[in-house]
Amino acid sequence: MTQITQEESNILRQLSPRRIIIPTLLGLGITAYLFYTSVDFDTLLPSLSKASGVWIVLALLTLFIRDGFYIYRIRYLTQKELTWTGSFYTIMLWEFSSAISPSAVGGTALASLLLTKEGIPFGKSLAYVMVSAVLDNLFFVIVGGVVLALHWSRVYPVALFPTVEGFAVQNLFLVAYFSVAAYNFLMMYGLFYKPEAIRWLFIKGTSWGWMKRFQAAAQKQGDELVIASAALKNVGLGYWMRAIGATFAVWTSRYLIVNCLLAAFVGLAFTDHLLIFSRHVLLWVILLIGFTPGAAGFAEISFQAFFGNYTEGIVAITIVALMWRIVTYYPYLITGAIFLPRWLKRVY
């Protein structure tokens, strides 16, 4: 049986099932407070009874489609070196890690360990994890650009960026958008063309002043980029087109879940669906700066700010926000806690 090294032990601590307690209590605590302050309990049951079961089932179906494409994508990215079982465990534990960690914490080391313990060589594991991140960011850059173009063309029926007192949502989105676009361009250039040049840039960019504290991490990422680039040689265009298609299916399914949940309570026109989808793109950026595990609490409050205008006078947006988290967040806490011991026994 394979022994757990000290480095692996340090990484696996991120997956401790005990860590589900904090985000669960925080998320449910904020939700309970929002319930108490915003829900009219006299109209709660009548409002829920009028919800469309079809749309709620579609929301659940969309979740399964999303996870199915996630599992398919990681198996396809590994060129089928990863089995279907290994792909399932990898995605479930990757999602579990995201659910119990702050959004700003990177998961490269953990994801690489998951793939390595499933039998993928280290260099290829790094490559597939980096490619996954690049493809996810590419979706955001492309769709975010379309969202901005529609916004500037005044296509949406109301303002795209919600009004949040004392918080410039539009400025935050623009900074995040162009930062992600620039970083993704560098990573793509390094992975597919000149990894040594990007490694040099990372090291030189952190060699002066207060940036020196980040030099070790920058050099490590540069080294990993060189290794990953070498593992991706001789991969054809068809490989990338299918990977991009799977990525778009993953994220489109993820965003459409909110459309389905809101449609369960409110009649929506096509332009409304377009606006809701676009605002979900914005919400994703806001959640990236969440400092709590899985953005717990932060997500529920942000959801109200972005979509609260759609349910006024019909059902409290807190209800929809809770349903959204029940569908997209809490299941990964449960499945991660269930499958982590099985995965550890399987690979060790």
Query: What tens digit of pLDDT does each residue of 156-186 get?
Result: 888 888 876 656 788 888 888 999 999 899 8
pLDDT confidence tier of residue 293, bands split at 50, 70 and 90:
confident
Closest of 32, 50, 31 to residue 314, by C-alpha:
50
- The C-alpha R_g of the chain, in whole angstroms, comes to 21
What's the Cα-to-Cα distance from 87 to each of 23, 24, 250, rounded to whole Å? 26, 26, 15
pLDDT confidence tier of residue 108, bands split at 50, 70 and 90:
low
Q: Tell me: the pLDDT tens digits for 32-85? A: 887 777 666 666 677 777 788 899 999 999 999 999 999 999 999 999 999 999
Q: What is the pTM of this model?
A: 0.88
Going by C-beta distance under 8 Å and a sequence separation of 6 or more, which residues neighbour residue 126? 108, 112, 224, 227, 228, 231
- Residue 1 in this model has a pLDDT that exceeds 70: no
For 171-193, b/e burial (b = at least 16 CB within 10 A) is: ebbeebbeebbeebeebbebbee
pLDDT confidence tier of residue 233, bands split at 50, 70 and 90:
confident
Going by C-beta distance under 8 Å and a sequence separation of 6 or more, which residues neighbour residue 286? 169, 172, 302
pLDDT of residue 192: 86
- CB-based burial label for 5 (10 Å; 0-12, 13-18, 19+): exposed
Q: Tell me: the pLDDT tens digits for 111-165? A: 888 999 999 988 888 889 989 999 999 999 999 999 999 999 988 888 888 876 6
- Residue 318 in this model has a pLDDT that exceeds 60: yes
Closest of 326, 321, 334 to residue 60, by C-alpha:
326
- Residue 107 in this model has a pLDDT that exceeds 70: no
What's the Cα-to-Cα distance from 33 to each of 277, 300, 318, rounded to whole Å? 27, 11, 10
